[in-house]
Amino acid sequence: MVGSIFSFLYLTLSCANMGFDDSLSPFWSIYTASKQHVKSRLIPQLVFQALVLVLIAGFVIAVIPSQIGNFAVPKVSLATLVIIEGFKKTIRILLHLSFYNRLTTTAELALICVYVSTVWAWYALGNPITLTVLILPLVICSSISVITLLITLYRHYQQLPEDAATDHPKIGRIIANRFFNAISQAGHQLFSSNFLVPFFAIYAGLEQAAML
């Protein structure tokens, strides 16, 4: 059941991304030619993605029930996780494209180690594992990771020149690129565990979904 919820959340995030992350690399050298290029082409798309994440978070609160079986569902924590993980995924891609691979890898490894250690330490102290115990530490760890990555990204932005002679990419090209990447992304998700686990959980039961 827990796996089904997490798979549903990350499937929703992938669909909400609408090809944005996959469409960054073809235009990255142009986007980062100057601060003016970032402001005119990249930031509007980031603002749009932020609005989409907020809408998706509201959708999660409205769709997911407050109680699933014997588990109480922390809907606000889930919605917060959607926003934070969506931001983290995009920021991580931006830093990878800027060759901050070592930093992003270190941050991800630290996040995983701290999160897993926290959950198991809670369990070792004799406390029950609930959805809140699984989700709340992830929200906190992901928030710290996002802040760290965001600071690095801002420092990289500060190093860019104010303006450059490079032409701005046409909006039509950006939209077309995102459209085709979104279709490709959706096709990949149909065969991913993010789709298959919730699908089998609904139509075949949690026991069958657990085998995936």
Q: Which of 146, 142, 185, 150 is closest to 18 using CA atoms?
A: 185
Do residues 156 and 30 make contact, with C-beta atoms less than 8 angstroms apart? Answer: no
Percent of the chain with pLDDT over 70: 88
Tally of structural domains, the chain: 1
pTM of the model: 0.81
pLDDT digits (tens, 9 = 90+) for 58-112: 888 887 777 766 667 778 888 888 899 888 989 999 999 998 988 898 988 988 8
Range of the domain at 29: 2-210
Cross-strand pairs, 67: 72
